[in-house]
Amino acid sequence: MSTRPRLYVPTDLQAGGPVALDENQSKYLFRVMRLNVGDEVRLFNGRDGEWLARVSEILGKSAGLLKAETRLRRQAVLTDLQLLFAPLKKTRTDFVVEKATELGAEVIQPVITEYTQSERVRTDRLTHIAMEAAEQTERLNMPRVMDAVHLIKAIENLPRDRRVYYCDERGDNEGEEWGGDENRARPMADVLAEHGKGSAAILIGPEGGFSPQERQFLRKTEGIYPVSLGPRILRAETAAVAALTLYQAICGDWKDAETGGVSDD
Amino acid sequence: MSTRPRLYVPTDLQAGGPVALDENQSKYLFRVMRLNVGDEVRLFNGRDGEWLARVSEILGKSAGLLKAETRLRRQAVLTDLQLLFAPLKKTRTDFVVEKATELGAEVIQPVITEYTQSERVRTDRLTHIAMEAAEQTERLNMPRVMDAVHLIKAIENLPRDRRVYYCDERGDNEGEEWGGDENRARPMADVLAEHGKGSAAILIGPEGGFSPQERQFLRKTEGIYPVSLGPRILRAETAAVAALTLYQAICGDWKDAETGGVSDD
């Protein structure tokens, strides 16, 4: 693969502009990838599209400068999609953030629910994971990783016109395994097809699902829709990936490759 | 959650039949879950549906007997879906097998491609991961995990009427990043909607994608369809989860919860 390294930088990008690298990025380019002065790199900052840059100076293997040259891609308008999820064990939380970034979520909001078995959520650590995933996945911006808040608060913070789809794998009959078939949510693909595009959020509960009180709150709030992800019980992180995939394929930027993030200037 | 422990056993299941547990399962039930004689467990063997069983004897915390009582669910006919994937680094391969099991793949076939950077694939280890995922996910059988074979061989082994969807994220213009927009594959959701149900296989390449020779082979073989998973470049394991999700939601057993694996007898 001839693909040039691709980095997120906070700097403004314009022709001829110098770009300083942080220590990790310098180590990656100069120690791991062994780039030399004149070699090509791609840069994005979430505002100015994607730029071709060239190494202009190397200062001792852990610092260096690039110079931006030409814009390769315009800043695309991305799908307005958020992920709200209950934190899981450490590696599974990391995984959700990595995958949500690949799948184009714009905001990643950890939410604390009644059955959340959370360790402390480190926003800085998750932001770093999102940055690396954004660099790898060809997207033109970074998702915003928010500090964890309580579920009710997170829902209240959303504008009222943002539709919320939450994965609800249980029926309502408490006597049966997984609540039986009573009042099961409809398949997510059908619910999405009905509502179409527009601002959306996907909400994924913890391994134990939502509490009866939470389900009641979610069900009675306008603009919040329970959805089913099939007849098997998915782990929470699988549900996150599956729900984001369905949203992008049915309502988001997978529908038409030409309007997606790869369109050229 | 009041859900009873759920185990895969190779034994035939019938009313009153005794079921011996292996050491790991016994440890799980008697040490971790602290079950006692008379407590309830659910069992499945891939043939006889799901059964309610009861602990009938505990022999020193790492061995025990259950007795099957009543059938809870009929053996459902599952989607005829296979996953062919190029092995990745160890934890990411484990992840693909776990998720493919949750998402209902019936056969999991590791394939060696030109760009595969595989460590040795341990079929027994992956089978164990699939078993644990099957126990957790409410499915009624185990996927078969096959020994790794070369890509061409794996394709030749498939019956001719099985459609193969492979994720091809590159265009054909070798001069541009990711091959530009030339001859990009169509969105997977569109291709699936066109072909509908029937035997299917999903093929996921390694991180580096397929070689030009492999792409040529795949493109010229009848019944093999390139598909796109959106404008971002997904990691291989994300592509596997996304493609299995779309298949199940559009052609598989997520379409109608009542025909899925949760229907009661």
Q: What is the CATH number of the domain that holds A106?
A: 3.40.1280.10
pLDDT class for A119, splitting at 50, 70, 90?
A: low
Q: Does A172 touch chain B (CB under 8 A)?
A: no
Q: Is B249 on the interface with A (CB under 8 A)?
A: yes
Calculate mean pLDDT across residues A163-170. 91
| Number of independent structural domains in chain A | 2
The answer to whether residues B55 and B94 belong to one domain is no
Q: Which residue has the higher pLDDT, B60 or A99?
A: A99
Residue A61 has pLDDT above 90, yes or no: no
B111-158 pLDDT per residue, tens: 999 999 876 899 999 999 999 999 999 899 999 999 999 999 999 999
| Residue A69 in this model has a pLDDT that exceeds 80 | yes
> What CATH number is attached to the domain comprising A61?
2.40.240.20
A92 φ/ψ angles, rounded to the nearest 5 degrees: -75, -30
pLDDT bucket at A199, cuts 50 / 70 / 90: very high
Same domain, B117 and B45: no
Which of B233, B245, B262 is facing A137, going by the closest CB pair?
Answer: B233
d(CA A239, CA B103): 10
CB contact under 8 A, A234 and B262: no
Average pLDDT over all residues of chain B:
90
Q: Mean pLDDT across the stretch A176-186?
A: 81
Distance to chain B for A158, nearest Cα, Å: 26
A104 and A202 part of one domain = yes
Please indicate, yes or no, whether residues B36 and B129 belong to a single structural domain of this protein.
no
Total CB pairs under 8 A between chain A and B:
162
Looking at the domain assignment, is residue A100 inside a domain?
Answer: yes
Which of residues B50, B73, B96 is at a domain's end?
A: B73
pLDDT at B45: 94
Task: Report the pLDDT value the prediction gives residue A207, as an integer from 0 to 100.
Answer: 87
What is the pLDDT at residue B127?
A: 96
* Residue B261 confidence class, pLDDT cut points 50, 70, 90: very low
Residue span of the structural domain in which B27 resides: 6-73
Q: Which residue has the tokens 């939470």?
A: A214
Q: Within this chain, do residues A190 and A214 fall inside the same structural domain, yes or no?
A: yes
Give yes or no for residue B258 having a pLDDT over 80: no
Residue B262 lies in a domain: no
Contacts of B140 (CB under 8 A, 6+ apart): B44, B46, B49, B50, B73, B75, B76, B78, B261
User: Residue B244 pLDDT > 50, yes or no?
Assistant: yes
User: Is A119 within a domain?
Assistant: yes
Within a domain: A265: no
What's the pLDDT score for residue B119?
64
Residue B146 Cα, gap to closest chain A Cα (Å)? 23
Q: Does A14 touch chain B (CB under 8 A)?
A: no
Do B126 and B251 fall within a single domain? yes
**B-chain residues near A187 (CB < 8 A):** 249, 254-257
Q: Does residue A164 sit in the same domain as residue A36?
A: no
What is the arithmetic mean of pLDDT over A47-59? 94
